[in-house]
Structure 1
């Protein structure tokens, strides 16, 4: 009964898209948000001062956006933080300009949570060359070992951000890994929903695996101690070797990692 009352209330959800020179992909992202079956949505777009026509695409839909700004920023984390500061929703989701939602993504996630959940995350469909797809599941219990929570599938209560602080602008790739370890350290409940709720193309900044692993190890040193750190470091290192030397299909490797 408690869950039914919570769902009947239909909490407001803010979706944030950050973009920079994404003219070729952002329209699909925007349409996937505007086409959601969930009704109580607020959509915010933060553009980092694009020069390739991204702003022209966004302007087509400006009347359907709650907020939109275009100005230079300090990178992905800075864009996230600007969007969070503007958000008025009880829950916040992030879908970047080369990713997109399934039509009922928000509905599925909001119908899978209770008022006691703080974060919910789902599964993602990775899209590689020739539009080949592989599903990757979020693995909450693996979080110490790396970014095993699929950020585009996540919805986080705004109150969580208010307590743990914003994304670290000093990180260029692993800012989401740092955020989730901070969330975990503060005792918030992270729930996995076993449903595909987003698609992600494998040509973004997070696919620079060398930089990604380097930042992940830096974040581990920041948050993990003793045996937890050394076990996580070893797992991450061995996984990096596997990516580099044993797999010829990076899409399959990423999906199974």
Structure 2
């Protein structure tokens, strides 16, 4: 957490509102927060209902023209705030983003680029076009994160911004660093991620008739991936559940047994 906090404070940006919402941590997070509290505008440590709820609590306190959030494992790159400010146009609905670094640490990080074109269709079918760390948006006091989403919360939120006619403004400069998690932790989250992607695609394809069939096929592909993940878990934990899941998977689509499709 301290590295994350210092990546923001170290921007030395003159007009920064720094808010920390901690979910009642029992590690050393509170001591870190208190060490820098003279540079923090608002902080609280209490149990919440999940990440989306925590972010919304922060949004309720924020009153700047541009807003972003940063998870406690991620970082802002040097001069990111000045780079974002240069691209901000007051009164415009903007999502300001850029390339980002991704990896277990900075030494092993690789650079990721923003995908184009910046269309709602491309955004949906790629499940996003840009990374979350280092992405800012023109503050909208009416929009909050959907607390039914826990993994794809940023994707669903930026989708609604694009529906509301926000325009993507991108820079080639890396703005953020996304820290990848150990494989075991990622696998646990992958289950939730796939379920949320499937739910999003099936719930929203009626609004995009031009790509409705593509969204349905993408949902089906993610459903096959979810079955494969469940089969792997059940093989390790319960052979009886494995047989039941295998039967359900084959009934859904025999291609579940063919990896990669």
Which of 100, 103, 111 does residue 124 from structure 1 map onto? 100
CA contact (8 A) 2:102 2:109 kept: yes
Compare the two structures and name the one with the higher strand fraction: 1
TM norm structure 1: 0.75
Unaligned stretches of 5+ residues in structure 2: 230-261
Q: CA deviation at 1:94?
A: 1.1
| SS of aligned partner of 1:114 | coil
For residues 223 and 96 of structure 1, do their structure 2 counterparts lie closer, same or farther at Cα, with a shift above 3 Å needed? Answer: same
The aligned counterpart of 2:177 is 199
CA contact (8 A) 2:194 2:222 kept: no
What is the distance in 1 between the residues matched to 2:76 and 2:223? 29
CA contact (8 A) 1:125 1:196 kept: yes
The aligned counterpart of 1:3 is none
What is the distance in 2 between the residues matched to 1:50 and 1:118? 34
The aligned counterpart of 2:37 is 62
Number of equivalenced pairs: 216
Which of structures 1 and 2 has the bigger CA Rg?
Answer: 2
Which of 128, 139, 143 does residue 158 from structure 1 map onto? 139
**Over 6 Å off, 4+ runs:** 204-207, 239-242
2:123 maps to 1:148: no
Which of 116, 132, 137 does residue 113 from structure 2 map onto? 137
What is the distance in 2 between the residues matched to 1:239 and 1:125? 26
| SS of aligned partner of 2:87 | coil
What is the distance in 2 between the residues matched to 1:69 and 1:177? 26
CA contact (8 A) 1:127 1:202 kept: yes
Q: CA deviation at 1:121?
A: 1.2
Q: CA deviation at 1:169?
A: 1.0
Unaligned stretches of 5+ residues in structure 1: 1-25, 246-257
For residues 83 and 34 of structure 1, do their structure 2 counterparts lie closer, same or farther at Cα, with a shift above 3 Å needed? Answer: same
Deviations 1:87-136 (A, max 9, x none): 02111111110000111001111112323342211121001379411111
| SS of aligned partner of 2:27 | coil
CA RMSD between the two structures: 2.6
| SS of aligned partner of 2:173 | strand
The aligned counterpart of 2:193 is 212
2:11 maps to 1:36: yes
TM norm structure 2: 0.74
| SS of aligned partner of 2:133 | helix
CA contact (8 A) 1:121 1:154 kept: yes
